[in-house]
Structure 1
């Protein structure tokens, strides 16, 4: 291969590493957001179920004021669950995280194995364009995560949470 082709392939590999890095950060941030929304679903749902049962019991034992108070709290918790939809949001963030990790894995395999074995420059450019399009579509379609989700992801990534054991310098 010519020096110009080698240079172009190296630039493509560098850009693919950027896509991988973006996907690691976005994917992990979405997983953090998903965990947060799933926890909120439990924090709202479990007390709602327990208080509903207790309110029914209090009502039948002629503790109308207690039953009424519990019912009001249940109504608030249920309204919050309906409005915030934490279960749906958690699932949407997990799905987005999974899609980012899939793209990262595909990009890494292409960069590490396929580009040197099966690609000429035009094919590598076409594959890069496909990965770029997939990342852009994910960025547009994915739910927004909070800054704290990203900061937690960055901290974890910097601590090596997203690094495969085989890729670590130390044994």
Structure 2
């Protein structure tokens, strides 16, 4: 394989790897955000429900009614929004992007430098790119704020391994 071809394949692999790094991190940020939403809505629903029960026994019927209504609304929001299910979907997508990123990195750094067969190398690149496209189609949509937080975290070094930074223990 000539160096121009190897360089072109390397560049495309780096693009896939970078996309996976940012997209995967954005999905993990969405997981964190949705988990917190679930905890907050669920905790408020439980507290409102418990307080409504207590208010009934203390003959505070109006307060009990308001708290009961709040608990009902919060529970309905949990059922409608399904933040726990959404968090699990984003976690799964983030895990898949992380796995693809690792596969791409290993191919780029271990197999590509010694590859001789252009056809086989191109076929492997096509398989990796196809996996990325499938993930992009199937993954849930995250918020722009999840992506911006991912970008900031990556720029601050959150996605680096010690070996990437030249640090050894």
TM-score bracket relative to the smaller structure: over 0.9
Match of 2:126 in 1: 129
Name the count of aligned residue pairs. 168
Task: Judge conservation of contact 1:9–1:124 (CA < 8 Å) in 2.
Answer: no
| Distance in 2 (alpha carbons) for counterparts of 1:54 and 1:118 | 68
In the alignment, does 2:52 pair up with 1:59? Answer: no
CA change 1:119–1:94 in 2 (3 A) is farther
Task: Judge conservation of contact 2:31–2:90 (CA < 8 Å) in 1.
Answer: yes
In the alignment, does 2:105 pair up with 1:108? Answer: yes
TM-score by length of 1: 0.92
Task: Judge conservation of contact 1:55–1:67 (CA < 8 Å) in 2.
Answer: yes
Task: Name stretches of at least 5 consecutive residues in structure 2 with no aligned partner.
Answer: none
Task: Judge conservation of contact 1:25–1:154 (CA < 8 Å) in 2.
Answer: yes
Match of 1:145 in 2: 142
Task: Name stretches of at least 5 consecutive residues in structure 1 with no aligned partner.
Answer: none
| Distance in 1 (alpha carbons) for counterparts of 2:162 and 2:116 | 28
**Structure 1 position 115, deviation (Å):** 2.2
Secondary structure of 1:77's partner? helix
Q: Deviations over 1:11-58 (max 9, x none)?
A: 111111110000000000000011101100011001111211221222
| Distance in 1 (alpha carbons) for counterparts of 2:63 and 2:116 | 72
Match of 1:162 in 2: 159
| Distance in 2 (alpha carbons) for counterparts of 1:92 and 1:37 | 10
CA change 1:112–1:33 in 2 (3 A) is same
Q: Deviations over 1:132-168 (max 9, x none)?
A: 0010111111111111110110011111111111111
Match of 1:48 in 2: 45
**Structure 1 position 169, deviation (Å):** 4.6
Q: Deviations over 1:106-152 (max 9, x none)?
A: 00011111223455211110110011001011111111111111011
TM-score by length of 2: 0.93
| Distance in 2 (alpha carbons) for counterparts of 1:55 and 1:119 | 72
Q: Considering only aligned residues, what root-mean-square deviation do their CA atoms show, in Å?
A: 1.5
